[in-house]
Amino acid sequence: MKIFEGKVALVTGGGSGIGRAVVETFVKEGAKVGVLERDEKKLEALNQLAGDIVAVQGDATTCLDNKRAVEQTVARFRRLDVLVTCVGVWDFNVALQDFPEEKIDDAFNEIFNVNVKSFIHSTKAALNELIKNEGSIVYTLSNSAFYPAGGGPLYVSSKFAVRGLVAEMAYELAPKVRVNGVAPGGTLTNLGGLRSLNQDMNLSNIPGIKELMQGGNPLQKVFIPEDHAWTYVYLSAKELSPGVTGVVINSDGGLGTRGIGKVAGLL
Ligand SMILES: NC(=O)c1ccc[n+]([C@@H]2O[C@H](COP(=O)([O-])OP(=O)(O)OC[C@H]3O[C@@H](n4cnc5c(N)ncnc54)[C@H](O)[C@@H]3O)[C@@H](O)[C@H]2O)c1
């Protein structure tokens, strides 16, 4: 029997990167999956995947599009058990000293809308179905929800904010719904920058990015999205983690155990 046999999940930002790996792994494990994604081309690619997937084009920062995604998923698959939020934008480490002051308002609104507000809208839209089915929620955080320097002040503060959301929603939704998070470390994806800063680039194209990632964590990992997918499976499935709520799993190569002087003992 597959882990998600008979279960239905909604993944926001499931069109690429970590979200797409979650979609593929969930489908392989028997889930029927709804995806809310803003990029049309990624949606077309999702529709080519084998499995029961309903791909909804929309903006996860809006109440309306999240409601549409939940409605279409439930209309097609008759229920919803799991919500996974994987949308996100990065700030490419722009430090406050280098920030043009006239850009702070727009950049703050953009990053908090996507990285924080969208999670709240997705949760609100899925709430009643998840309570009915005693389901679970998994939010995507980051090493930047725990440590500095994986982003600038906007990205890091937006990811710390999601730790608050994990705690509050786990409290509010107990005993019916478990709420947890995954905090991936640096991962080779096309994570994009802020339109308000004209950051028309993606993470994988940063020169020397692999070496930078590898040298920064004790396990010397250069992660690909699939490396995190089973952490989402574990936290989502009632059968695998029935007693786990309000927790964030760090899937980051051991950033919390970096030594002083050298990153890892055997380096
Ligand atoms: N790549 C990394 O190094 C890394 C590390 C830690 C955490 N994360 C987090 O992982 C999550 C996934 O990022 P990724 O690296 O897979 O990048 P990605 O860009 O491949 O995935 C994000 C997806 O969300 C979609 N999206 C963005 N804004 C949206 C919106 N408003 N509405 C609907 N869809 C939207 C994008 O089109 C994309 O498909 C993000 O929350 C990111 O902050 C990434």
Q: What residue type is assigned to position 137 of the chain?
A: I
Contact 174, 1 (CB under 8 A): no
CA distance 252 to 267: 17
CATH architecture of the domain covering 8-250 = 3-Layer(aba) Sandwich (3.40)
pLDDT 10s digits, 53-102: 999 999 999 999 999 999 999 999 999 999 999 999 999 999 999 999 99
Please state the rounded mean pLDDT for residues 236-260. Answer: 97
State whether the beta carbon of 19 lies less than 6 angstroms from ligand 1.
Answer: yes
pLDDT 10s digits, 175-196: 999 999 999 999 999 999 999 9
State whether the beta carbon of 203 lies less than 6 angstroms from ligand 1.
Answer: yes
CA distance 246 to 212: 31
Query: Domain segments of the chain: what residues?
Result: 8-250
DSSP-derived 3-state class of residue 166: helix
Indicate whether this model's pTM tops 0.95.
Answer: yes
| Per-residue model confidence (pLDDT) at position 267 | 66
Per-residue pLDDT for 244 more than 90?
Answer: yes
Please state the rounded mean pLDDT for residues 49-53. Answer: 92
pLDDT 10s digits, 127-170: 999 999 999 999 999 999 999 999 999 999 999 999 999 999 99
Q: What residue type is assigned to position 91 of the chain?
A: D
User: In what side-by-side order are the strands of the sheet with 32-37?
Assistant: 53-57, 32-37, 8-12, 82-85, 136-140, 178-184, 248-251
Of 11, 18, 144, which is best to mutate to test ligand 1, by the most ligand atoms within 8 angstroms of its C-beta? 18
| Per-residue model confidence (pLDDT) at position 266 | 85
Please indicate whether residue 155 is annotated as part of the active site: yes
- Rounded to the nearest integer, the mean pLDDT of the chain is 97
Of 43, 68, 86, 91, which is best to mutate to test ligand 1, by the most ligand atoms within 8 angstroms of its C-beta? 86
